[in-house]
Copies of this chain bind each other. A is one copy, B any other.
């Protein structure tokens, strides 16, 4: 029983050397205008495919739901990264030519909110929302899409995606870690909403801009709020944006994707995007920490690695995270070594390879964590 029409189109986001355009599929559901608009994308990093399956499961369910807001879903968002293989794995985390992380090419001009607030001190919030949004769209076009010097491949790709996200009130960017548990990047101002997702690890990020999609979506609006606040006026941050890390890269499971789609639908239901009551957050332990307390542990020495610490379980300072084998040292005490947690922490993800250089990121762990 399909009550909702899903409009399908393709958008050209890049052109390869031999002239063929690379496109992304765009699926759009028109809401009845009574709810916030939503933009969801997946697979910006080439190896992080599971979000595509989550979009598949979302579409399967949205087609029989009534939507208040418009929903735009973009799987396979980075056809350059998705197609960048090196050996048996997808090398799609950064541009193979420049090394630039694909999820750092979005645009934000911090001068815009400052100027806007000063020029329009007294506009009503709905007009602010509309006019400032228009300003962001025009700035993106001027800086990226119509720049006389052109723009970088990653900037062009990001600008096409960002253009769609600029129409939304809610932005969800679906990623995965390397070998990873589910975790959520949540802006500090939206802390209350972290409990709507069935995601056991939450990182509260400051509202700074480092080039990522979630930041590009909320930073202009958060800066605008701050600018008005400095002028003595209180307005809401108009946009929510989250990065969801849904397990491990190079892994696809339609069944697990279904669970994540329910979790997202619970958030959308709570946010008034869909007409539904059946999607509700699970009763579960959710650990959280500040981004500054989300620490990477780097290999103190090179070697072969057996990852010991399971995800999601608190471990004590001094307990081993990995065991390392150094076969050039057989017969010596340091043929097998361990790397221990410097602090009490919860492991969230680990490196994808069993052999590491000195200085390779072994684990990422939450320290100074607390429950939500």
Q: Identify the A interface with B (CB < 8 A).
A: 6, 8, 10, 14-23, 25, 27, 46-47, 49, 52-53, 55-56, 59, 75-76, 79-80, 82-83, 85-91, 93-101, 148-157, 178, 250-254, 295-306, 323, 325-331, 335-336, 342, 351-361
> B100 near A299 (CB under 8 angstroms)?
no
Q: Which residues of B contact A23 (CB under 8 A)?
A: 20, 328
Q: Which residues of B contact A335 (CB under 8 A)?
A: 56
A22-B18, A150-B299 known; A86-B90 Cβ under 8 A: no
A148-B342, A149-B296 known; A327-B357 Cβ under 8 A: no
> B329 near A19 (CB under 8 angstroms)?
yes
Give Cα distance in the complex from A45 to B10, angstroms.
30
Give Cα distance in the complex from A119 to B76, angstroms.
54
> B15 near A301 (CB under 8 angstroms)?
yes
> A330 near B297 (CB under 8 angstroms)?
no
22 A-B pairs with C-beta separation under 8 A: A8-B331, A14-B358, A15-B358, A17-B90, A47-B354, A49-B354, A53-B304, A55-B327, A56-B327, A83-B357, A87-B90, A88-B178, A89-B352, A89-B353, A94-B94, A94-B99, A97-B357, A98-B361, A99-B100, A149-B342, A153-B359, A156-B358
Q: Which residues of B contact A330 (CB under 8 A)?
A: 6, 8, 25, 27, 56, 59, 75
A353 to chain B, nearest CB (A): 5
> B82 near A86 (CB under 8 angstroms)?
no
Closest B residue to A13 by beta carbon equals B358
> A82 near B358 (CB under 8 angstroms)?
no
Give Cα distance in the complex from A20 to B75, angstroms.
14
Copy number in this complex? 4
Give Cα distance in the complex from A23 to B18, angstroms.
9
Q: Which residues of B contact A327 (CB under 8 A)?
A: 19, 25, 52, 55-56, 75-76
- Among A18, A75, A83, A357, max chain B CB count under 10 A is at A18
Choose one: B97, B295, B352; the contact of A250 (CB below 8 Å). B352
> A83 near B18 (CB under 8 angstroms)?
yes
A17 to chain B, nearest CB (A): 4
> A353 near B19 (CB under 8 angstroms)?
no
A181 to chain B, nearest CB (A): 17
Closest B residue to A46 by beta carbon equals B355
> A152 near B298 (CB under 8 angstroms)?
yes
A369 to chain B, nearest CB (A): 16
Give Cα distance in the complex from A47 to B150, angstroms.
24
The 3 closest A-B pairs by CB, nearest first: A153-B359, A150-B298, A94-B99
A153-B360, A352-B250 known; A87-B91 Cβ under 8 A: yes
A304 to chain B, nearest CB (A): 5
> A17 near B86 (CB under 8 angstroms)?
no
> A79 near B252 (CB under 8 angstroms)?
no
20 A-B pairs besides A17-B90, A49-B354, A88-B352 with CB distance below 8 A are A14-B358, A16-B82, A18-B22, A18-B76, A19-B76, A19-B302, A49-B355, A52-B327, A55-B327, A56-B327, A56-B330, A85-B357, A86-B97, A89-B353, A90-B353, A149-B298, A150-B298, A150-B300, A254-B306, A254-B323
A87-B91, A330-B25 known; A306-B361 Cβ under 8 A: no
Choose one: B86, B100, B101, B302; the contact of A15 (CB below 8 Å). B302
Give Cα distance in the complex from A2 to B355, angstroms.
30
Choose one: B79, B87, B304, B323; the contact of A93 (CB below 8 Å). B87
